Amino acid sequence: MDEALGQLRRALELAAQHPAPRPRLLTSWCIATVLHLQGRHAEALREFEHIREVSAAEHFPHGEDLALLGLSSAYRDFDLALLRGREALALGRRFELRKVECET
């Protein structure tokens, strides 16, 4: 997983050159997911929260919803995990993001 994380960080450097936020945010989501899978939950939570904030500011609901799903997985507190999962479902329904609705 460390090698994957390194490759994703290099991909993020390339994505940062793209004018649109989508490639950068989706690559960041992959990094956060790897951190979560490595058990580095605090780092993953920070990354998912950053993705959520930037996605909301950039009016990118798919990124925001993916970040909420990541937060619901990475939180070790069940109540917070459930809250973020419900937020993801509500946002997914609002923007008709059917895939998100199925993953929640």
- In this prediction, residue 94 carries a pLDDT of 79
CATH number, domain of 15, equals 1.25.40.10
pLDDT band of 99, cuts 50, 70, 90: low
- Mean pLDDT, residues 91-99: 76
How many angstroms from the chain centroid is the CA of residue 100? Answer: 12
User: What residues make up the domain containing 33?
Assistant: 2-103
Domain total for the chain? 1
| pLDDT at 103 exceeding the cut of 60 | no
Residue 79, classed as helix, strand or coil, is: helix
pLDDT tens-place string over residues 27-73: 999 999 999 999 999 999 999 999 999 999 999 998 999 999 999 99
Q: Which of 61, 67, 63, 69 is nearest to 96 (CA)?
A: 61
Query: b/e for 7-44, b at 16 or more Cβ within 10 A?
Result: ebeebbeebeeeeebebbbbbbbbbbbbbbeeebeebb
Nearest-angstrom CA–CA distance, 98 and 66: 12
> Are the C-beta atoms of 62 and 97 separated by less than 8 Å?
yes
What is the rounded average pLDDT for all residues in the chain? 89
